[in-house]
């Protein structure tokens, strides 16, 4: 491995990493030598994911159960990470989820509009959690004058999306947050960047879908994506490795679109 990409011994904390993109990032960073703490709200996937990644990589992988959309949950998570590893070198604010519902009922459409509770939930999961985790980890990184933060945005942040107004709002805010916080902490040798993924499906993300539905979704993704396919979880992990390593020391405040051309 090129020395600039070697993160052996680094400690990484990843939110929303029991499955999907967070899992893909955790797998690659552990393979590259990092000890990884992976967060989820419940133990439904994250415990098995941690065990599998540890077995495959030979690194320490800690499952962290906590709700990082509120300050108390963030502190609970960090207490677990610092107790196990003593520090955090890389924070990956990956937690996110979409909700398809219009803000106002459309004349020619059926279905429910977004409730107050749903609005808060989408913003908390996709934006607030990143802000709270960054605020909590910040003093530690500032004191050491060293750190990497990777936020997960979305290709929709740059182009919008039908039925995903709230998700787009939150992910666009992540882009702005990345730029502003990166500028504020640049003098202290902390680099903050974000990844804006396209479609990175995993079977676990579609547990209620039958085989025919999965085929239709794959065909739809291939049709609308310029490169003609969905992304693979390892691919987003490899980009995260660049941002977590010293190879990206001269990059900060940027959002990198990894979307097969969807944002073009």
Question: What string of pLDDT tens digits covers the 264 residues of the chain?
Answer: 799 999 999 999 999 999 999 999 999 999 999 999 999 999 999 999 999 999 999 999 999 999 999 999 999 999 999 999 999 999 999 999 987 888 888 887 777 888 899 999 999 999 999 999 999 999 999 999 999 999 999 999 988 777 789 999 999 999 999 999 999 999 999 999 999 999 998 765 555 667 788 788 889 999 999 999 999 999 999 999 999 999 999 999 999 999 999 999
pLDDT of residue 163: 79
List the beta strands (DSSP E) in the chain. Answer: 11-14, 35-40, 61-65, 90-93, 147-152, 190-197, 255-258
User: What is the longest distance spanned by two Cα atoms in the chain?
Assistant: 58
Which CATH number is correct for 3-258, 3.10.20.740, 3.40.50.300, 3.40.50.720, 3.40.640.10? 3.40.50.720
Q: Is 121 exposed, middle or buried (0-12, 13-18, 19+ CB in 10 A)?
A: middle
pLDDT at residue 23 in the model: 97
Q: What are the residue ranges spanned by the domains of the chain? A: 3-258
Q: Treating both helix axes as pointing N-terminal to C-terminal, what angle do 20-31 and 233-244 enclose, rounded to 10 degrees?
A: 60
Catalytic residue positions, numbered: 167
- Residue 45 makes CB contacts below 8 A (sequence gap 6+) with 18, 19, 23, 204
Residue 215 phi, psi (nearest 5): -65, -40
CB 174 within 8 A of CB 124: no
pTM confidence score: 0.95
- The residues that bridge with 255 in the sheet, in sequence order, are 194
pLDDT at site 204: 53
């Amino acid at each position: 491995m090129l020395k600039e990409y070697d993160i052996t011994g680094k400690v990484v904390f990843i939110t929303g990493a029991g499955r999907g993109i967070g899992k893909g990032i955790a797998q690659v960073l552990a393979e590259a030598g990092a000890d990884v703490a992976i967060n989820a709200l419940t133990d439904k996937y994250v415990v098995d994911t941690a065990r599998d990644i540890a077995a495959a990589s030979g690194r320490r992988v800690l499952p962290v159960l906590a709700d990082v959309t509120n300050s108390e949950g963030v502190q609970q998570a960090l207490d677990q990470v610092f107790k196990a590893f003593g520090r955090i070198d890389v924070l990956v604010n990956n937690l996110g989820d979409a909700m398809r519902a219009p803000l106002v009922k459309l004349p020619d459409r059926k279905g429910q509009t977004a409730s107050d509770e749903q609005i808060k939930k989408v913003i908390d999961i996709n934006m607030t959690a990143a802000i709270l985790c960054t605020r909590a980890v910040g003093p530690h990184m500032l004191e050491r004058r060293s750190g990497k933060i990777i936020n997960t945005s979305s290709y929709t942040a740059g182009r919008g999306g039908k039925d995903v107004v709230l998700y787009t709002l939150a992910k666009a805010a992540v882009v702005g947050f990345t730029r502003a916080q990166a500028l504020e902490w640049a003098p202290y040798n902390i680099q903050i960047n974000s990844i804006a993924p396209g479609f990175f499906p995993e079977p676990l993300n579609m547990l209620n879908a039958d085989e025919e539905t999965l085929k239709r979704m794959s065909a739809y993704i291939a049709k609308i994506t310029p490169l003609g396919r969905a992304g693979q979880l390892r691919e987003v992990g490899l980009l995260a490795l660049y941002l977590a390593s010293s190879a990206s020391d001269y990059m900060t405040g940027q959002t990198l679109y990894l979307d097969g051309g969807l944002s073009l």
